[in-house]
Structure formats: structure tokens, C-alpha cells
Structure 1
């Protein structure tokens, strides 16, 4: 990689940083700023990298960044897919797939099956734990998956890099390490696949807790089948859940949540709200 590449990379990062306002990335506006955009230390904080290291990167010094760090910088600077690809090109790296290669769309029959489970939250995940299909009840309880893209719609990413999802889970402290141990056991044969490595690299950068737990090398075969939720509208909810491997050889799993006791009535009350949100989102998309 030439000195010119490093300079162009620094210029591109600076331009993206200066194009953003604090409120664009969830930061308070604070005092009046002498220069436009975010400060370098704010970008470093969002990307969880050192301020000095990020400053060197912007200054065009010969600093090398891993694919995971580049993806985190792209997220911090709210880059589009095109901008992210340009970032990787300037860095002399091949942009990794955000989703598994050749992931087929969910079959219509499977989506109908999910929709028929109208009073049971349910979703389908692939072998990387990306959520590839879901029903309205799942969105009502866990949040609208259609608003998430790429790695953000991955169960591990939601556990470790999505604060709202973390706050939803009453027993997060027990669920997170157990889920990670199960993921390690289930995906040991996939360690050399690029999109698995990219996911781990990204979470190692974004979450100190993930990094510590991943280093433990723990494996586990199953979780308890009760999940307790602290829902922002319905408050306390609990579900019994089961996971089934699909018989089509795809390594995809169907996970179904059955509401317990008063949670049934709470779920029924949430469903019309979610349907209305879906209608409003579709209308907004078509404007």
C-alpha cells in the first residue's frame, strides 16, 4: 500500500467525520464547536479505538487496520455500503461479506409457516446465527428485525452490541456467556470461513465483554428453555422456547417462543401495535 493510499484514506475518514453532527450518532450537542462535524476523540470513542491511533490514521500515517476495525469505523461514521467498500479499497483490503455468501432468500412456504404462528414469536436463523426470517409476534416482543441490516441482525451482535436488546433480557448476564459457548460449539467447523471470522473480529472490537468471554474458549450444548423479558411497553414477560433444526440440510434453525401465563394477554395486546407500526413503516418507504 502506497503513501498516497494512506493519505487518501486519511482524507476520506476526515471528510466523513466532518460531515456528521453529534446528534447523527447519538451524542449530545454540547458546547458550540469551532469546526464542523465530530471530534476525532468522539469517533475513536464510538469505534472503541485509541484516539492517538485514529488520529494517525487520519493524518495518513502508515497505520494498518484489521477488517474488524474497518467495519467498526464504518459503523461509527455511519457509512453506506458503497462508502464502506471505498474505505476497504483505500485500505488495500477486500471488503468481507456482511452476510454469508450465497445466502438464499427465505422460501415462501417457510415464511407462511412463521406467519401462521401468529401468537408465538418465532424466527429462523442460519448457521452463523443471522436471523433470516421472522414473524410479527417476534417483532412485537424483541423489536423490528426489518430495521436491522447486515451483522446487526445477528443474534450474537444483538446480545453484545445492541444495548436496547441487552436491556430487554432480564437474565442477560447468564444468557450471553452461555449463548456464546453454544455458538462456539456449533460453529467450530466454520472457523476458516471469512464471514464467521469477520463477525468475531467485529464483536471483539465493539464489546469488551465479548472479547473476554470469547477468550475463555468455553463450549456448551444447550441453554435453559425459559426466557424472561423486560418489555418497554408490556413490562415483565416470560416465554418457554424451543429450537428445531430444519430437515432440508441447510443448518437453519426454527426457534419458537410460547408465552407463559399473563404474558399471553400482554402479547395479544402488543400485536395490533406492531401491525400498525408495520403499516406506517411501509407507507414511509413508499413515499
Structure 2
């Protein structure tokens, strides 16, 4: 049997297992020699064989699959950070992002956005629904608060909103980039019925989207420059960078900053002139 130093995955699984209350999971059996769930009980909850689970704790049997790790994470009721740690121990990489419907963001994350008073910033899901934004983003991009939740989708705005389309300089290039980046996000998140439905909706709504989607282009939505025709501030070039939200790989924060000193001056005038909402 491997030692704790040689078998960090087994050590972690054993530690999580012994912290669980059997009664909370409907397991009786009277007095137990050791705390927590038994190995066979975890295996039953994870729908894997008790022998295979035992081998994992003992450091035998090779690397588990992502499916097995997900089953075990569910069986042990691991939090998202704990599940990610399990993946790092078992496979040496974090899990793929999973699509989950999001109604909003935490107050703490909203305060992070609000603290960036001079940098427009938004939070988007893997479906490209905007679920968080700051005042600067409202003034530069869109007043998301005035839109219904399903209207805050970046792709719906890009391909179904004439005002949003008019604000984007070189719309064709931007649209191609957005569709290719969305494809990468959707695939990384494992796909979903909701994502397939959104693609079908946009394909029926916009021949442009349908054409670009059929091209099968894929790009990383890491950083770049967004050029805008703002109705008040005029032409603006904004550099952007995208960051994954810790513990929520299905959420991305996009932060914009002026590309030049002239763009910074125009943005600052826009922010200073607008009343606080």
C-alpha cells in the first residue's frame, strides 16, 4: 500500500470520507470502529465498485477517469473547490467548466466590480449571459439593468439588437470573433441542451450567426481590443482581458481599459458627466 506522501489522492479521499456523518446519509449499523462512512458506502453513493474505490484509497489501479472523480465528488458531497482539488490530485488538471444557470453574482463579487470605477467590467456565463456589471460598463456598453435577464445575452445583443450592432466598429470581424469564442466556451463547458437551444434560436434569428456558426472557427477569448462608436463619447478603442472567476470556471470576468491616452480622456469625460445611478 502506498504511503500518504506517495498517495495524496487516497489520503484526501480517506480524510473526506471519515468526516461524513453516516446517519445523515441513512446509514445505520450501530457502533463503528472508525468515524465517517465506510468505503463500500462511498462506493455505493458514487455508483462504482467497492473494490475500485478501495484501490483508489490504497494508491492502486492507475489514474481514475473524470467520470469516476465526478461520481466520487458527488458521493462525498464535495464543494466545487474540493472537487477541483480532487481533479488536481487524480488527473493533474482542474475539471472542465460545467454550465450552470446563474441568476446573479455574490455581493462580494459585485463589490469587486464596483471598485473598478474607471474600468468597465462585466461577468458572463459560459452561455455568454451577462450576470454582473459595474457603472462604467453600463455607460460604455449597455444598461443591462433595463433589459430582461434573457435579453442580457451578448450573442442575442450582437445579432438581434440594432443599437448594439451599430456601436461595434468593424462589426463583421467582431461577430466572427464572438461566435468563435462562444463555441470554445460552450465546448469547454461540456455543451448543454440550453446551449444547443441558444444556437438554434440564433441561427433562425440571424443569417449572419448561422453563417459564422457553420464556419466552425474556434478562438480563445483571452484579450484584445474592442472598438466602439459610442453615441456620447464618440469613437473609443478599449483593450480587454478575460479572467476566470476562482471556484467558478463557468464564469468569466471581462475588464476593459482605454487603449490610448485619448481614449482614456474620452472615457473619463463620459463617466464624469453621467449622473450616479
- For normalisation by structure 1, the TM-score amounts to 0.58
Q: Deviations over 1:220-268 (max 9, x none)?
A: 2246611111111111111111110111134211111011312222222
Conserved 8 A contact 2:140-2:230? yes
SS at match of 1:167: helix
> 1:171 Cα shift?
2.2
Query: Matches of residues 86-97 of structure 1 in structure 2 within 5 Å?
Result: none
Q: 1:227 to 1:124 in 2, by over 3 A?
A: same
Structure 1 counterpart of 2:113: 114
* Partner secondary structure for residue 227 of structure 1: strand
* CA 1:273–1:178: 2 relative to 1, 3 Å: same
1:38-71 C-alpha deviation (Å, 9 max, x unpaired): xxxxxxxxxxxxxxxxxxxxxxxxxxxxxxxxxx
Structure 1 gaps, min length 5: 1-99, 279-287
Q: Map of 1:32-181 to 2, 5 A cutoff?
A: 102-181=101-180
In 2, distance between residues paired with 1:222 and 1:123? 14
- Distance in 2 separating the partners of 1:193 and 1:143: 27
Match of 2:262 in 1: 262
Q: Is contact 1:179–1:223 with CA below 8 Å preserved after alignment?
A: no
Give RMSD over aligned pairs.
2.0
Where relative contact order (Cα < 8 A, 6+ residues apart) is larger, the structure is: 1
| Distance 1:120-1:193 versus aligned 2 partners, 3 A rule | same
Q: Which residue of 1 aligns with 2:275?
A: 275
The structure having more radius of gyration, on CA atoms, is: 2
Query: Where does residue 221 of structure 1 map in the other structure?
Result: 220
Alpha-carbon distance between aligned partners in 2 of 1:236 and 1:248, rounded to the nearest angstrom: 36
Local SS of the residue matching 1:236: strand
Q: Distance in 1 between matches of 2:118 and 2:223?
A: 22
Number of paired residues? Answer: 178
- Describe the superposition over 1:86-131 as per-residue Cα deviations: whole angstroms up to 9, x where unpaired: xxxxxxxxxxxxxx76525310111111011001100011111110
Cα distance in 1 for residues equivalent to 2:207 and 2:118: 36
Q: Secondary structure at the match of 2:275?
A: helix
